[in-house]
Amino acid sequence: MPSFDNIVIWTGFALFVLMIPALWRVIKGPTAIDRIVAVNVIGTKTAVLLVVIGQKFQKVEMFVDFALAYALLNFIGSLAASRFLQKSPCERQESKGAATES
Amino acid sequence: MIQETIITIISTLLILCGLIFFLGAAVGLLRFPDFYTRMHAAGKGDTLSSFLVVLGFAVYQLHDFKFTEAGFKENWWVLLLILKLIGICAFIMITSPTSTHALMNAGWEDDIEPELKHKDANELEKDYPRK
Protein backbone atom coordinates (compact mmCIF):
# COMPACT_ATOMS: atom_id res chain seq x y z
CA MET A 1 0.00 0.00 0.00
CA PRO A 2 1.50 3.35 -1.04
CA SER A 3 1.98 5.95 1.66
CA PHE A 4 -0.16 9.07 1.64
CA ASP A 5 2.91 11.17 0.78
CA ASN A 6 3.20 9.42 -2.59
CA ILE A 7 -0.51 9.89 -3.23
CA VAL A 8 -0.13 13.63 -2.57
CA ILE A 9 2.76 13.89 -5.04
CA TRP A 10 0.87 12.00 -7.76
CA THR A 11 -2.26 14.09 -7.16
CA GLY A 12 -0.24 17.24 -7.75
CA PHE A 13 1.30 15.73 -10.87
CA ALA A 14 -2.12 14.71 -12.22
CA LEU A 15 -3.51 18.19 -11.59
CA PHE A 16 -0.56 19.66 -13.46
CA VAL A 17 -1.01 17.29 -16.40
CA LEU A 18 -4.76 18.06 -16.57
CA MET A 19 -3.95 21.78 -16.89
CA ILE A 20 -2.41 21.14 -20.33
CA PRO A 21 -5.74 20.61 -22.22
CA ALA A 22 -7.08 23.82 -20.68
CA LEU A 23 -3.91 25.61 -21.78
CA TRP A 24 -4.44 24.22 -25.29
CA ARG A 25 -7.93 25.70 -25.23
CA VAL A 26 -6.46 29.07 -24.14
CA ILE A 27 -4.10 29.05 -27.12
CA LYS A 28 -6.56 27.74 -29.72
CA GLY A 29 -10.01 28.88 -28.49
CA PRO A 30 -12.05 30.40 -31.34
CA THR A 31 -13.73 33.10 -29.22
CA ALA A 32 -12.40 35.33 -26.45
CA ILE A 33 -14.80 33.92 -23.87
CA ASP A 34 -13.56 30.39 -24.57
CA ARG A 35 -10.12 31.53 -23.48
CA ILE A 36 -11.52 33.14 -20.34
CA VAL A 37 -13.35 29.92 -19.41
CA ALA A 38 -10.15 27.92 -19.83
CA VAL A 39 -8.21 30.41 -17.68
CA ASN A 40 -10.95 30.10 -15.05
CA VAL A 41 -10.55 26.31 -15.07
CA ILE A 42 -6.77 26.63 -14.66
CA GLY A 43 -7.31 29.05 -11.76
CA THR A 44 -9.61 26.65 -9.91
CA LYS A 45 -7.09 23.85 -10.42
CA THR A 46 -4.34 26.11 -9.04
CA ALA A 47 -6.34 26.78 -5.86
CA VAL A 48 -6.62 23.01 -5.34
CA LEU A 49 -2.94 22.55 -6.20
CA LEU A 50 -1.99 25.02 -3.43
CA VAL A 51 -3.74 22.80 -0.88
CA VAL A 52 -1.85 19.79 -2.30
CA ILE A 53 1.48 21.63 -1.99
CA GLY A 54 0.62 22.57 1.60
CA GLN A 55 -0.03 18.92 2.43
CA LYS A 56 3.32 17.95 0.88
CA PHE A 57 5.21 20.49 3.01
CA GLN A 58 3.14 19.65 6.15
CA LYS A 59 1.99 23.28 6.32
CA VAL A 60 -1.67 23.11 5.30
CA GLU A 61 -2.60 25.76 7.88
CA MET A 62 -0.49 28.29 5.96
CA PHE A 63 -1.35 27.28 2.39
CA VAL A 64 -5.11 27.16 3.03
CA ASP A 65 -5.15 30.95 3.24
CA PHE A 66 -3.28 31.22 -0.06
CA ALA A 67 -5.76 28.87 -1.71
CA LEU A 68 -8.73 30.87 -0.40
CA ALA A 69 -7.21 34.14 -1.63
CA TYR A 70 -6.48 32.60 -5.02
CA ALA A 71 -10.03 31.29 -5.39
CA LEU A 72 -11.39 34.74 -4.53
CA LEU A 73 -9.13 36.48 -7.05
CA ASN A 74 -10.10 33.94 -9.71
CA PHE A 75 -13.80 34.59 -9.10
CA ILE A 76 -13.39 38.38 -9.23
CA GLY A 77 -11.27 38.09 -12.36
CA SER A 78 -13.75 36.00 -14.29
CA LEU A 79 -16.68 38.23 -13.24
CA ALA A 80 -14.77 41.33 -14.35
CA ALA A 81 -13.89 39.71 -17.67
CA SER A 82 -17.50 38.70 -18.34
CA ARG A 83 -18.71 42.24 -17.52
CA PHE A 84 -16.02 43.65 -19.80
CA LEU A 85 -17.11 41.50 -22.75
CA GLN A 86 -20.86 41.89 -22.29
CA LYS A 87 -22.36 44.35 -24.72
CA SER A 88 -24.44 47.08 -23.12
CA PRO A 89 -28.02 47.51 -24.46
CA CYS A 90 -27.29 50.82 -26.22
CA GLU A 91 -24.20 49.33 -27.87
CA ARG A 92 -26.39 46.48 -29.13
CA GLN A 93 -28.92 48.95 -30.55
CA GLU A 94 -26.10 50.72 -32.40
CA SER A 95 -24.76 47.50 -33.92
CA LYS A 96 -28.29 46.44 -34.94
CA GLY A 97 -28.86 49.84 -36.56
CA ALA A 98 -25.60 49.58 -38.48
CA ALA A 99 -26.55 46.07 -39.65
CA THR A 100 -29.95 47.20 -41.00
CA GLU A 101 -28.52 50.32 -42.69
CA SER A 102 -25.87 48.40 -44.60
CA MET B 1 -2.93 2.87 13.56
CA ILE B 2 -6.28 1.50 12.42
CA GLN B 3 -7.69 5.04 12.49
CA GLU B 4 -4.88 6.27 10.24
CA THR B 5 -5.48 3.44 7.74
CA ILE B 6 -9.23 4.09 7.54
CA ILE B 7 -8.78 7.87 7.19
CA THR B 8 -6.12 7.40 4.49
CA ILE B 9 -8.37 5.07 2.49
CA ILE B 10 -11.37 7.42 2.70
CA SER B 11 -9.38 10.49 1.69
CA THR B 12 -7.62 8.63 -1.14
CA LEU B 13 -10.98 7.51 -2.53
CA LEU B 14 -12.32 11.09 -2.39
CA ILE B 15 -9.20 12.44 -4.11
CA LEU B 16 -9.34 9.78 -6.84
CA CYS B 17 -13.03 10.56 -7.53
CA GLY B 18 -12.11 14.24 -7.80
CA LEU B 19 -9.29 13.51 -10.24
CA ILE B 20 -11.62 11.43 -12.43
CA PHE B 21 -14.07 14.35 -12.61
CA PHE B 22 -11.14 16.67 -13.44
CA LEU B 23 -10.25 14.32 -16.30
CA GLY B 24 -13.84 14.53 -17.56
CA ALA B 25 -13.75 18.33 -17.43
CA ALA B 26 -10.45 18.44 -19.31
CA VAL B 27 -11.64 16.04 -22.04
CA GLY B 28 -14.91 17.96 -22.39
CA LEU B 29 -13.08 21.27 -22.65
CA LEU B 30 -10.88 19.80 -25.37
CA ARG B 31 -13.40 17.93 -27.50
CA PHE B 32 -16.86 19.53 -27.37
CA PRO B 33 -17.91 21.31 -30.58
CA ASP B 34 -19.20 24.75 -29.54
CA PHE B 35 -18.87 27.33 -26.80
CA TYR B 36 -21.95 26.40 -24.74
CA THR B 37 -21.16 22.69 -24.50
CA ARG B 38 -17.56 23.42 -23.50
CA MET B 39 -18.94 25.75 -20.81
CA HIS B 40 -21.14 22.91 -19.58
CA ALA B 41 -18.18 20.54 -19.19
CA ALA B 42 -15.91 23.13 -17.58
CA GLY B 43 -18.49 24.52 -15.15
CA LYS B 44 -19.86 21.27 -13.75
CA GLY B 45 -16.74 19.11 -13.79
CA ASP B 46 -14.58 21.75 -12.19
CA THR B 47 -16.99 22.51 -9.34
CA LEU B 48 -17.55 18.95 -8.18
CA SER B 49 -13.94 17.81 -8.61
CA SER B 50 -12.42 20.72 -6.66
CA PHE B 51 -14.98 20.06 -3.95
CA LEU B 52 -14.05 16.37 -3.75
CA VAL B 53 -10.27 16.87 -3.75
CA VAL B 54 -10.32 19.57 -1.07
CA LEU B 55 -12.75 17.49 1.00
CA GLY B 56 -10.34 14.53 0.75
CA PHE B 57 -7.53 16.67 2.19
CA ALA B 58 -9.88 17.96 4.90
CA VAL B 59 -10.63 14.36 5.93
CA TYR B 60 -6.93 13.49 5.97
CA GLN B 61 -6.20 16.18 8.59
CA LEU B 62 -7.90 13.86 11.13
CA HIS B 63 -5.30 11.09 10.64
CA ASP B 64 -3.46 11.60 13.95
CA PHE B 65 -6.26 13.31 15.88
CA LYS B 66 -7.09 11.70 19.23
CA PHE B 67 -10.77 11.83 20.15
CA THR B 68 -10.16 12.34 23.89
CA GLU B 69 -10.27 15.43 26.08
CA ALA B 70 -6.46 15.69 26.14
CA GLY B 71 -6.39 15.27 22.37
CA PHE B 72 -8.93 18.06 21.87
CA LYS B 73 -6.93 20.36 24.18
CA GLU B 74 -3.68 19.64 22.37
CA ASN B 75 -4.87 19.64 18.76
CA TRP B 76 -7.93 21.94 18.69
CA TRP B 77 -6.40 23.88 15.79
CA VAL B 78 -6.84 20.84 13.53
CA LEU B 79 -10.61 21.31 13.77
CA LEU B 80 -10.16 24.97 12.83
CA LEU B 81 -8.07 23.88 9.82
CA ILE B 82 -10.79 21.46 8.72
CA LEU B 83 -13.35 24.25 9.05
CA LYS B 84 -11.21 26.44 6.78
CA LEU B 85 -10.87 23.67 4.18
CA ILE B 86 -14.65 23.13 4.21
CA GLY B 87 -14.94 26.92 3.84
CA ILE B 88 -12.88 26.69 0.62
CA CYS B 89 -15.24 23.89 -0.56
CA ALA B 90 -18.32 26.03 0.13
CA PHE B 91 -16.73 29.06 -1.53
CA ILE B 92 -15.92 27.11 -4.70
CA MET B 93 -19.41 25.58 -4.74
CA ILE B 94 -20.95 29.08 -4.65
CA THR B 95 -18.59 31.04 -6.89
CA SER B 96 -17.89 28.58 -9.71
CA PRO B 97 -21.53 28.30 -10.89
CA THR B 98 -21.91 32.07 -10.50
CA SER B 99 -18.95 32.83 -12.73
CA THR B 100 -20.08 30.15 -15.21
CA HIS B 101 -23.50 31.79 -15.40
CA ALA B 102 -21.99 35.26 -15.88
CA LEU B 103 -19.66 34.08 -18.64
CA MET B 104 -22.45 32.16 -20.39
CA ASN B 105 -24.65 35.26 -20.28
CA ALA B 106 -21.82 37.37 -21.69
CA GLY B 107 -21.30 34.84 -24.47
CA TRP B 108 -25.00 34.78 -25.41
CA GLU B 109 -25.19 38.56 -25.53
CA ASP B 110 -21.93 38.67 -27.46
CA ASP B 111 -23.70 36.88 -30.38
CA ILE B 112 -21.94 33.52 -30.13
CA GLU B 113 -24.15 31.13 -32.10
CA PRO B 114 -24.85 27.68 -30.64
CA GLU B 115 -24.63 24.60 -32.85
CA LEU B 116 -28.23 23.47 -33.19
CA LYS B 117 -29.50 20.37 -34.91
CA HIS B 118 -33.23 21.07 -35.22
CA LYS B 119 -33.95 24.59 -34.05
CA ASP B 120 -32.93 27.83 -35.65
CA ALA B 121 -30.92 30.25 -33.48
CA ASN B 122 -33.39 33.03 -34.29
CA GLU B 123 -36.20 30.87 -32.96
CA LEU B 124 -34.24 30.42 -29.74
CA GLU B 125 -33.79 34.16 -29.51
CA LYS B 126 -37.58 34.58 -29.23
CA ASP B 127 -37.59 32.60 -25.99
CA TYR B 128 -34.38 34.09 -24.58
CA PRO B 129 -34.11 37.61 -26.03
CA ARG B 130 -30.74 39.26 -26.17
CA LYS B 131 -31.08 42.58 -24.35
The domains of chain A are located at: 4-101
Q: How does pLDDT run along chain A (102 residues), one tens digit per residue?
A: 678 889 999 999 999 999 999 999 999 878 888 899 999 999 999 999 999 999 999 888 899 999 999 999 999 999 998 888 877 667 767 766 666 655
Nearest alpha carbon to residue A70 among A50, A47, A40: A47
ipTM for this model:
0.85
CA A100/CA A62 separation, integer angstroms: 59
Q: Could you tell me the end-to-end alpha-carbon distance of chain B, in angstroms, rounded to an integer?
A: 62
Q: Give CA–CA dist B98/A79, Å, rounded.
A: 9
Tell me which chain B residues have a C-beta less than 8 angstroms from the C-beta of A24.
30
Mutate to test the interface with A, among B99, B101, B108, B113 (most CBs of A within 10 A): B99
Q: Which among B27, B84, B103 has the least Cβ separation from residue A37? A: B103
Over residues B70-105, the pLDDT tens digits come to: 877 888 888 899 999 999 999 999 999 999 999 988
Cα B108-A79-B84 angle, rounded to 5 deg: 135
